[in-house]
Amino acid sequence: MAGITDLPFRIICKELGVDILYSEMLSSTGLNFTLQKNLEFVNSNKHDFPLFIQLFGNNPEHFALATNIIDKLPSIEKLGTKIGPRRPEGIDINFGCPVKKVMKQESGCALMRNPENAYEIIKAVVDNTTLPVSIKIRAGIDNVSAFDFLGKVAPLDWKTLMIHGRTFKKGFSGEIDCNLIKEIKEKYPERKIIANGGIFTPEKAKEILEKTNADGLGIARGCLGNPWLFSQIKEYFETGNYSTPTISEIKKVALKHCELIQKYKGKNQIVEMRKHLGWYFKGFPDAKKYRQELYTIESIEDVRNIISKL
């Protein structure tokens, strides 16, 4: 999720139970022309593990060069206690993003309309790294189904498929197509299939996993303001019950999130917490009253003062 899944948020999610982390979307084209600026989007450290760097774009040559750059980054061991771009544990190619500015570049989900070019993009990545490669798609776009797309790219050596079970037209509304994901898993049993879309509760997570027979779950919007969702799902699968965070726990994690942004991105970037604070404290009895204040914070002190009133 661009602008959201940066290093501070990934660390929070890791501490609260996530298994695999995905970076913000990194432009394969941008990486070729403004290397240092774009590599900052994938700054990492030893707590940010295992990490998949997520690429988007539409030019196979740019993907090849970007992959080569990523493959040659320092290892997590060489990074040590420092922060910086590092060689990840895998590379993910996004063919599922429905955002207009991405679609206008013929990237993201738009590439499902052009499986021939998608094939060349995946090949360019696979040929330039020894890292495992994953791809993300949607249930379909226009008259191109997920099966049409996969039929073209299946011969390539990608390891994992994350499928958002809604079509491009459905966006983020409505139920996901669990039957489609199940059929894809049956057709490609040797691949890891990750079900994605509409997972906001442990109950929904269990329902989707059972209906799809997928190998795992991909969670995006469901963890906004609720990074506890990962540990809740695991607890629910193991015991049939799960705990919810107390008000003091939510405040503690929100403040830690602020501290991590300040530590890894600088004091002037604390404004990035505004949207996160809106998500963390959504539904609080006094949240509406203080919403305007939460959206205008300039420092950690501002955050402490406001949430002490909640």
For the stretch 161-172, pLDDT in tens is 999 999 999 998
Residue 223 in any domain: the answer is no
For the stretch 28-85, pLDDT in tens is 999 888 777 788 889 999 999 999 999 999 999 999 999 999 999 999 999 988 999 9
**Counted domains in the chain:** 2
pLDDT at 3 over 90: no
**Could you tell me which residue, 285 or 50, shows the higher pLDDT?**
50
Same domain, 137 and 57: yes
Q: What pLDDT is stored for residue 192 in this prediction?
A: 98
**Given 97, 109, 178, 258, which residue is catalytic?**
97
Domain limit, last residue, from 218, 239, 263: 218
Domain limit, last residue, from 170, 199, 218: 218
For the stretch 184-210, pLDDT in tens is 999 999 999 999 999 999 999 999 999
Same domain, 214 and 257: no
Same domain, 173 and 87: yes
Answer yes or no: are the C-beta atoms of 55 and 26 closer than 8 Å.
Answer: yes
Same domain, 158 and 268: no
Show the domain range for 55: 19-218
Q: What pLDDT is stored for residue 68 in this prediction?
A: 96
Same domain, 110 and 256: no
- Catalytic (active site) residue 97: yes
Residue 232 in any domain: the answer is no
CATH of the domain at 37: 3.20.20.70
Q: pTM of the prediction? A: 0.94
Same domain, 83 and 167: yes
Strand partners for 145: 140
pLDDT at 285 over 80: no
Same domain, 116 and 252: no
Q: Which residues contact 72 (CB under 8 A, 6 or more apart)?
A: 87
Same domain, 57 and 197: yes
Residue 242 in any domain: the answer is no
Q: What pLDDT is stored for residue 41 in this prediction?
A: 85
Residue 75 in any domain: the answer is yes
Residue 117 in any domain: the answer is yes
Same domain, 175 and 299: no
Average pLDDT of the segment spanning 125-141: 98
CATH of the domain at 254: 1.10.1200.80
Same domain, 251 and 214: no
Domain limit, last residue, from 201, 218, 235: 218
Average pLDDT of the segment spanning 226-247: 97
Residue 230 in any domain: the answer is no
Same domain, 170 and 59: yes
Kindly state the percentage of the chain with pLDDT values over 90.
85
Same domain, 140 and 255: no
Average pLDDT of the segment spanning 17-36: 91
From the list 244, 296, 249, the residue with the least C-alpha distance to 271 is 296
Task: Give the CA diameter of the chain.
Answer: 58
Beta strand pairing call for 43-44 and 84-85: antiparallel
Start-to-end C-alpha separation, the chain: 28
Residue 6 in any domain: the answer is no
Residue 14 in any domain: the answer is no
Q: What pLDDT is stored for residue 286 in this prediction?
A: 73
Q: What pLDDT is stored for residue 284 in this prediction?
A: 81
pLDDT band at 183 (very low <50, low <70, confident <90, very high): very high
Tokens of 232: 């809740």
The Cα-based distances of 184 to 179, 196, 257 in angstroms read 9, 13, 38
